[in-house]
């Protein structure tokens, strides 16, 4: 069996998503100019609030749905330990869909039973509503043409807990397709997860991005290839200071390829986890999701030690994420 990945970048990746989500939640939908006038050097503390009045460190849909996918990998490992020798018999996409449906229907920590999430993307709602009727993870999704970032924001557990590129790509695309089955979304998830897996295994940021580009090429998705190349040319610090402008013309509105480009640029920025993530959020727009997606890459790059303790201590699911990650990795090592 392939050795499990090191613990520090695994925890960094998971909690990087949570951190970026919670930091960005305060400024979701806020323009760059408004952020610059209120926080001239960027928001540097997790303070909650925002459009949905989040408690500090509380998960938005980004982290909640990452948790749903993480729970699916926990359940797969429990299935394997229970005696099955064929882990592929476990449908991880279906399990992730079931966990996501629990989130949608209010069977979730710190939520009133039966209550709906206060924030949910249109494609996610469409896909999960179709799944609730069909219970078929291959027969839902919002359809081609719907290319939001709602599956990219939640996909990272696949990178961390599935060994082997072929399996990761298959699972990344299948889990995305439950809600986001446009090829731009499914391929972006596969690319992102191969970048994360490469980072956790010790690749340089540039080396990991090259792996992602190779995957996009192998899956014949030129638009994702272009998004990666675009990310390589962007300067996060410049955009954070001057505003999106022509470099990001749709102003980080939630388009999956733009979020992927921003995350690639963040990964290749040599500054600290904190400085880069603050600048990703400072760009404005879909700040929580862009923060989550970039935070996952930065956490895989730098490890959990790079995430400021004052941020970690506020995260709603920190303890659970750490416990689940350690448990899955330990089980896989046995």
45: alpha, beta or left, given left = phi > 0 and alpha = psi -120 to 50?
beta
What secondary structure letter does DSSP report for 89? G
Quote the pLDDT of residue 15: 98
Is 61 marked as a binding-site residue? Answer: yes
Residue 319 neighbours by CB under 8 Å, 6+ apart:
none
pLDDT, residue 42, reads 97
Locate 187 and state its tokens: 């391929």
pLDDT band at 253 (very low <50, low <70, confident <90, very high): confident
User: What's 221-242 look like in SS3?
Assistant: CHHHHHHHHHHHHCCHHHHHHH
**Does 263 score more than 50 pLDDT?**
yes
Start-to-end CA distance of the chain, whole Å, equals 9
Choose the weakest-confidence range: 77-81, 235-239, 324-328. Answer: 77-81
| pLDDT confidence tier of residue 280, bands split at 50, 70 and 90 | very high
Angstrom distance (rounded) from CA 120 to CA 198: 30
Question: What angle in degrees, to the nearest 10, is found between the helix axes of 287-302 and 183-200?
Answer: 30
Measured CA to CA, the distance from residue 334 to residue 252 in angstroms comes to: 43
Look at residue 247 in the predicted model and tell me its pLDDT: 72
Question: Are the C-beta atoms of residues 51 and 277 closer than 8 Å to each other?
Answer: no
The domain limits of the chain are 7-60+147-333
Mean pLDDT of 319-326: 98
Tell whether residue 63 is among the known ligand binding residues: no
Alpha-helix runs per DSSP H in 151-285: 156-161, 165-177, 183-200, 205-218, 222-233, 236-242, 256-268, 273-282
The single residue listed with the structure tokens 């729970």 is: 71
pLDDT digits (tens, 9 = 90+) for 217-238: 999 999 999 999 999 999 999 9
Please say whether the beta carbons of 200 and 10 come within 8 A. Answer: yes
Whole-number Cα distances in Å, 107 to 55, 73, 100, 205, 234: 19, 19, 10, 38, 41
Mean model confidence pLDDT for the chain: 94
Range scoring the smallest mean pLDDT among 83-87, 108-112, 141-145, 204-208 = 83-87
Give per-residue pLDDT as tens, 137-160: 999 999 999 999 999 999 999 999
Over 90: is that where the pLDDT of 251 sits? no
* Exposure class string for 71-82: b at 16+ Cβ within 10 A, else e: bbbbbbbebbee
> How far is the C-alpha of 186 from the C-alpha of 179, rounded, in Å?
10
Q: Is 220 helix (H, G, I), strand (E, B) or coil?
A: coil
Beta bridge partners of 49: 54
Q: How far from the centroid of its chain's Cα atoms is residue 331's Cα?
A: 24
Neighbour-count burial for 166-188, b at 16+ CB within 10 Å, e otherwise:
eebbbbbbbbbbbbbbbbbbbbb
Q: Considering the entire predicted model, what is its pTM?
A: 0.96
- The architecture CATH gives domain 7-60+147-333: Orthogonal Bundle (1.10)
Please indicate if the annotation marks 289 as binding a ligand.
Answer: yes
Whether pLDDT at 23 is above 80: yes
Residue partners of 172: CB distance under 8 A and separation at least 6 = 155, 158, 159, 186, 189, 190, 192, 193
What sign for the dihedral angle of Cα 94, 98, 100, 101?
A: positive
How far is residue 303 CA from its own chain's centroid? 16
60 is in an annotated binding site: yes
């Amino acid at each position: 069996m392939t050795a499990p990945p090191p613990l520090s970048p695994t925890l960094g990746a998971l909690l990087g998503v949570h951190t970026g989500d919670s930091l960005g939640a305060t400024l979701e939908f806020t323009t760059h100019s408004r952020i610059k006038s209120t926080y001239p050097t960027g928001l540097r503390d997790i303070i909650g609030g925002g459009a949905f009045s989040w408690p500090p460190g509380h998960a938005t849909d980004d982290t909640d749905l990452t948790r749903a996918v993480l729970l699916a990998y926990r359940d797969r490992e429990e299935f394997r330990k229970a005696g099955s020798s064929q882990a592929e018999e476990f449908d991880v996409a279906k399990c992730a869909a079931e966990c996501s449906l629990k989130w949608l229907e209010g069977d979730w920590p710190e939520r009133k039973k039966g209550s709906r999430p206060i924030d949910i993307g249109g494609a996610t709602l469409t896909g999960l509503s179709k799944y609730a009727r069909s219970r078929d993870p291959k027969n839902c999704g919002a359809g081609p043409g719907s290319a939001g970032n709602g599956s990219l924001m939640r996909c990272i557990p696949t990178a961390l807990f599935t060994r082997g590129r072929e399996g990761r790509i298959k699972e990344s695309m299948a889990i995305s397709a439950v809600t986001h089955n446009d090829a731009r979304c499914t391929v972006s998830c596969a690319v992102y997860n191969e970048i994360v897996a490469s980072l956790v295994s010790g690749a340089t940021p540039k080396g990991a991005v090259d792996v992602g580009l190779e995957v996009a090429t192998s899956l014949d998705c030129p638009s994702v290839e272009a998004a990666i190349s675009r990310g390589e040319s962007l300067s996060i610090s410049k955009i954070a200071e001057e505003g999106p402008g022509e470099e990001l013309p749709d102003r980080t509105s939630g388009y999956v390829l733009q979020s992927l480009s921003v995350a690639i640029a963040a990964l290749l920025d040599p500054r600290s986890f904190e400085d880069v993530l603050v600048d990703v959020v400072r760009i404005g727009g879909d700040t929580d999701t862009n923060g989550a997606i970039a935070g996952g890459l930065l956490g895989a790059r730098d490890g959990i030690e790079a995430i400021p303790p004052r941020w970690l201590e506020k995260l709603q699911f920190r303890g659970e994420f750490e416990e689940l990650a350690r448990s899955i990795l330990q089980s896989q090592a046995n």
